[in-house]
Chain A
Amino acid sequence: MLTAEDVVVQFDGLTAIGNVSLSMGRHEVFGLIGPNGAGKTTLVNCLTGFQVPSSGRILLGGEETAGWKSERFRKAGIGRTFQAGRLFREMTVVENVEVTGVGLGLTRRQARAQAMDLLEWVGIAGKAETVAGTLPYTDERRVGMARALMLGPAFVLLDEPAAGMSDAECDDLMHLVAAIPRIFTCGVLLIEHNMRVVMGVCDRIHVLDGGRTIAEGTPQEIQRNETVIAAYLGGEA
């Protein structure tokens, strides 16, 4: 289980997240949605060690993670992607993925084999030797996913993987994301604005607004939830 308990993040007295708790397992796709500025990425940063919560706890498999640096989170089995991609732009696609493997202790050969398998799986093995900086936006996301899945993490956190994708590309992405728990026994936390994608793949959805939890439930429940509708449409609750 990956658990956030009463997490609060304040920047200079401004509350980015106030008392958010959530818990997810390795067999589900867990959606995290909310309007812009709701605190989604801040929460993901807390869950991956990029942001230290002002108060509250992050637990991985019941273990307290206080004081862990981001690389410790990665090693313990939490992979993530980034909105900006953050690939090594001057390196090839396969090198981008394998560097995680060698960084975490595989030999170059093992890392390359695993990287190629993952690139095959996300569907860009044909571009393995392409320099990452020349990839189209949507392919960058796939490389980011492959990189996050190296060494079989227990959880991957995908930060807006569908942004800028066409409907057809979204369909491909949904197939991939939905398959991750089954194939890799890896829980997926999905931040996404594209509601078709979110409603299509998530088992449960957690909704943030203004740094607070306003709802959690199945896609059907969330779609009917008055508070959520109000938050998104700006109407009165």
Chain B
Amino acid sequence: MIGFLQNLIDALSLGSLYALAALGIGLLFGILRLTNFAHGDFISFGAYALIVPSLEVTATKFIGNWPWYLTLPAIAALVVLLALLSDFLVFRKLRQASAPTLMIASFAVGYVIQNVILMVYGARPKAIDVWSSLQQQVVIGELRVPQLQLVTIGITIVLMLGLSLFLNRTSYGVQMRAAAEDFRMARYLGVKANFVIGLAFAISGLLAAMVSLLFVSQTGTLSYVMGVPLMLFAFIATVIGGMGSLIGAVIGGFAVGFVSVMCQAYLPEELRSFRDAFVFAIVIAVLIFRPSGLIPTKALVQRV
């Protein structure tokens, strides 16, 4: 039982990361029909922004050395800037483009970011130690939980509540939801398209920044492709959640995290290295029975 609870908290914590990344992807898909494969590279960029740019093997922390209440907004601002810049330089020129064209453009943006990281920071993974004090464990009865996992789950809950309040309670949020559901109609009713899209990129960047920080403090390594597997799992999460549904993205994120951790924990030893194959098999099974995802809706968000 304790073992299962321990696994459950692991699953929640991993699922949180996937859910946050999936939200960032789902938001842009809802409004632009853009499947943003550069989202993982936004995450990598946020992590690298913690250190001094150099090709040296050892990482020298810069923003990463600041107190957390400065690090958080600084990294958030940088990733938001990157997200807005990619909209301004690339996606804004492609407003009339089809969904596949947008997706391919996002691959290109991702490669550019990866290669810039390669050029500036070098190809070798670097060790970095951020907020290592959070690795301490909290003992609750027989459970021993790293603080970082609790922080991850907590930040995820706060961000989701914040996003939901924003979408439901503010005039910008109402406009975003309208645009996500019927973009042409929203435009006709006066919603400013570029503004709403810019807002979606900014929020997506903010979410990516939070994933950067949480992920890097868990793994303690930087690599120029570190965001790619996160992006992949988050993308799968949005697909099984139901593309375009934010609630679906969150549920999908937690589901993928849960399946992944449980496969790791309960698969026979010799099969564990094939964990991801089992995860994907389950995803395929879900899609066979629910082809349009767990929450099949075109809407951006349902009542939360």
What residues of chain B lie closer than 8 Å to A74, measured between beta carbons? 188-190
Is B161 an interface residue when CB atoms closer than 8 A count as contact? no
Query: Contact check: which of B171, B177, B187, B302 meets A88 at CB < 8 Å?
Result: B177
Is A224 an interface residue when CB atoms closer than 8 A count as contact? no
What residues of chain A lie closer than 8 Å to B171, measured between beta carbons? 102, 107-108, 111
- What's the Cα separation between A32 and B299 when bound, in Å? 35
> Given A107-B171, A108-B171 in contact, is the A88-B190 Cβ separation under 8 Å?
no
Interface residues of B: mostly helix, strand, loop or mixed?
loop
**What is the 8 Å Cβ interface bit string for chain A, positions 88-132, against chain B (1 contact, 0 not)?**
111100010011101111011001000000000000000000010
- On whether the beta carbons of B182 and A99 are closer than 8 Å, the reply is no
Chain A interface size range: 20 to 34
- What's the Cα separation between A104 and B185 when bound, in Å? 13
What residues of chain B lie closer than 8 Å to A107, measured between beta carbons? 171
Is B191 an interface residue when CB atoms closer than 8 A count as contact? yes
- On whether the beta carbons of A89 and B181 are closer than 8 Å, the reply is yes
**What is the 8 Å Cβ interface bit string for chain B, positions 250-288, against chain A (1 contact, 0 not)?**
000000000000000000000000000000000000000
- On whether the beta carbons of B303 and A99 are closer than 8 Å, the reply is no
Chain B interface size range: 20 to 34
What distance in Å separates the Cβ of B300 from its nearest Cβ neighbour in chain A?
7
What distance in Å separates the Cβ of A75 from its nearest Cβ neighbour in chain B?
6
What residues of chain B lie closer than 8 Å to A104, measured between beta carbons? 189-190
What distance in Å separates the Cβ of B170 from its nearest Cβ neighbour in chain A?
7
- What's the Cα separation between A67 and B157 when bound, in Å? 47
Query: Contact check: which of A50, A91, A98 meets B181 at CB < 8 Å?
Result: A91
Is B175 an interface residue when CB atoms closer than 8 A count as contact? yes
Is A70 an interface residue when CB atoms closer than 8 A count as contact? yes
- On whether the beta carbons of A98 and B188 are closer than 8 Å, the reply is no
**What is the 8 Å Cβ interface bit string for chain B, positions 188-220, against chain A (1 contact, 0 not)?**
111110000000000000000000000000000
Query: Contact check: which of B170, B189, B299 meets A108 at CB < 8 Å?
Result: B170
- On whether the beta carbons of A86 and B190 are closer than 8 Å, the reply is no
> Given A71-B187, A74-B190, A103-B189 in contact, is the A88-B182 Cβ separation under 8 Å?
yes
Is A206 an interface residue when CB atoms closer than 8 A count as contact? no
- What's the Cα separation between A78 and B60 when bound, in Å? 61
What residues of chain A lie closer than 8 Å to B190, measured between beta carbons? 71, 74-75, 100, 103-105
Q: List 17 A-B contacts (CB under 8 A).
A: A70-B188, A71-B187, A71-B188, A86-B182, A88-B177, A88-B186, A89-B299, A91-B178, A95-B178, A99-B174, A100-B190, A102-B174, A103-B178, A103-B190, A104-B189, A108-B170, A131-B303
Which B residues form the contact surface with A (CB < 8 A)?
Answer: 170-171, 174-175, 177-178, 181-182, 185-192, 297-303
